Amino acid sequence: MTAAPPAANQPQTPRWGVRRVAPVAAAATAALGCTGLHWVSLAASRVSFDPPYLALCAGLSLAASAALGGLAARARLSSAACLALWAGLAGGLHGGLLAAAAMTLAGAAGVWVGRAGGDRPYSDGLLVGGGFALAVGVAPALAARLGASESARPFLAALAFLGLWGAGRWLAARPARRLSQVSLFVATAGILVAMSVRPLWDHERAARRGAPPVSPREARAESGRGPDIVLLVLDTVRADHLSIYGYERETTPVLAALLARRGGGRAHPLALSNGTWTVPSHASLLTGLSPSEHGARLGNSSGTAFALRADLTLAEALRGVGYRTLSIYANTWLGRIAGMERGFDHYRQSGQFGSAPPIGERLRGLLLPSVAAAGARPKASAADVSAKLLAALDAARGGPAFLFANFVDAHAPYLPPREFRGRFAPWSPFERPEHLALAQSEAEKRRLEARYDECIAGLDRDLGLFFDELDRRGRLAGAWIIVTSDHGEAFGEHGVTEHGTTVYGEVTHVPLLLIPPEGVELGELVGAASLVDVAATVAAVAGAEWPGGGRDLRRGAGAGVPPTLVEFDGDPHKARRHGELARLPARALVEGTLKLVSHGGASELYDLAVDPGERRDLAADHPDDVRRLESLLGEWDAGVREDAGWTGALPPSELEALRKMGYLGGDD
């Protein structure tokens, strides 16, 4: 007796041979759909990833997905059930156990919603892959808009995924089901592309608008045009790791060549950061005030968001005398200081490398921690920062330019450019880019120190390319070039690692190169200088009135060199990983060659002329100097203005970028 054919409106159950292949096909299609949409969004946002890196991630994702499909086939699961497991696997690799559970439940709910739709391995696979790519893309923005905590992100991603997956499964039981599911996938691609393009479009629209109209005051200033001023901050670069400062490794040949070519320039022998990490130091640089004066410091905030007081900023002062003020920064923190943008015609973060391709990147990180890892860097490169700054310069109309850039190439995790890896210590393709920790062995610290030096050498190379582009535009010969840093990096010299941990020289002694226009000669640079002095010097070069602190470094000793103050609020969070000393608030005062270090109720004294590494405490031998410098600190405390900062918190979408750079949780 011949079996009756199935009804036209009933889903057909695949034969066993086809059913065995269906879960593999579904999971592989999901991997390809997810990876493909991610590639499209990367291309739309112009994020630079190496093609070999993308191919490796895609291959790992496809292999893992096919393996999952094979296991599902052996267990005789449907392709839809396999896709629910795939969503859980993808969620776990992307966001941990909580995300895995949320995505698995969302996947199972979608299977139940579309239980009448049968198995459609290819169209379902496309929908699941696209849905996952969309979910992990929109969850941070959705959490930020709702004001939700970071722990809510996996659930928001799961809800977004369920919405698309459930809708697709429901449509699968309707007429023209294949067309409906493919349409959903195309719509998903469109949403991702729109999300990727919008920041770029906003940036280009601002560039097309150009600078604000020229005011009468600016028009008058244009007739006596001042020199271009280029202020570059090499984030996390300590002075004694630059070959310009006598370091045995050749880390800065390009900067050395620029100094030699522009013979009037100088490398300041003793420049100090006023803070010990990004926020207070940059705020001092752009206000001419100490951290306790400008208020952007740990002791005056929630620790994740900051605000400047209403003092005049350097950019405001320069714009007031006709300068076009342009800034591109790579460090996420510079976008988290309310008021830092004041006075800038253009103040933008360089597009961070977006999330690495889901699934495949996590597998690469587990199996091949450093192979092709350059494509997964969570920080923008110097080349990217330079390109965007030059584009802003090209779009600016009239007037001299003040260019301010922040580069994070030497910031942990240390991953030097490919051509610099292994230059100072043997390199293994299986190395994992890491952050420092006090518990690491001395050999491990020395290896990471070599990687740090290789990062500096790569940054030096890229700075040379930036200077070449300025020269090609005719904007180099007549410009003031100032190169400095916000802080250094400790490798265990005083029982702490990293930065934001101590006021000793490994964190607070920063490079300071002052390179005037061709034909201008600088005199001898004497005494200690700080970032506050850099602000005063830039304002003086521009001919701007400057109510902030600091001294014009071009004038040498003049009427005397005032003491230089460094402040640190203490950071219990850092102490857990980087050493207990980081828990203690500390200050340092440098007068001449003497440095007073005060922390934990005790004072230490060092003579930097004979002991630059601050190894021999002279406090017991020179009590009069200790009392005198402590008295100066007391006078400072009595005269400083009351703190009046702002406490705030970052949206979850911003916390992940900071965490990748080591500031929050995990690898701090």
Q: In whole angstroms, what is the distance from residue 652 CA to residue 142 CA?
A: 9
Cβ atoms of 457 and 469 within 8 Å: the answer is no
Q: Which two tokens stand for residue 414?
A: 């240390």
| pLDDT at residue 652, rounded to an integer | 42
Q: In whole angstroms, what is the distance from residue 312 CA to residue 548 CA?
A: 8
Q: Where are the beta strands (DSSP E) in 539-629?
A: 564-568, 586-591, 594-599, 602-607
Cβ atoms of 342 and 316 within 8 Å: the answer is yes
3-state secondary structure of 267: strand
Residue tagged 């921690």 (tokens): 369
Of 311, 233, 291, the C-alpha closest to 566 is 291
In sequence order, the 6+-apart residues with CB closer than 8 A to the CB of 385 are 328, 329, 330, 350, 405, 406, 407
pLDDT tens, position by position, 156-165: 777 877 777 6
Query: Residues 468, 471, 476, 482: what is their CA dihedral angle, to the nearest 10 degrees?
Result: -10
CATH 3.40.720.10 matches 227-559: yes
Q: Which two tokens stand for residue 188?
A: 């998903």
| pLDDT at residue 242, rounded to an integer | 98
Cβ atoms of 129 and 30 within 8 Å: the answer is yes
| pLDDT at residue 8, rounded to an integer | 47
Residue range(s) in the chain whose domain bears CATH number 3.40.720.10: 227-559
| pLDDT at residue 570, rounded to an integer | 86
Cβ atoms of 498 and 236 within 8 Å: the answer is no
Of 266, 271, 240, 244, the C-alpha closest to 255 is 244
- Locate all alpha helices (DSSP H) within 359-476, ordered by sequence: 360-367, 382-395, 442-472
> What residues in the chain have per-residue pLDDT under 70?
1-20, 41-53, 114-119, 139-151, 153, 165, 169, 171-224, 298-305, 351-358, 361, 365, 368-379, 432, 557-560, 639-668
| pLDDT at residue 172, rounded to an integer | 64
